[in-house]
Amino acid sequence: MFKYRFAAICRTDKKSHIHRLSTVASSEREARRQFASRFVLVLSACIPVSEVIV
């Protein structure tokens, strides 16, 4: 699993400022799917997430 961070601009708002979005997903494609309908995305980071064993 990775934490993906994106710089994003809203698709519907012409005067939108840059948003910083992040999500945890197993692939970049899966991460983009969560935001792609509302935002134009630029990948800014992909950080490994260490899983906690209980």
Task: For strands 39-48 and 2-10, give the pairing.
Answer: antiparallel
The CA–CA distances, whole Å, from 36 to 1, 3, 4, 6 equal 20, 16, 13, 11
Q: Are 9 and 40 in contact (CB under 8 A)?
A: yes
The CA–CA distances, whole Å, from 32 to 16, 49, 53 equal 19, 17, 27
Provide the whole-model pTM.
Answer: 0.83
Task: Give the position of tokens 């134009």.
Answer: 40
1-54 tens-digit pLDDT: 999 999 999 999 988 899 999 999 999 999 999 999 999 999 999 999 986 555
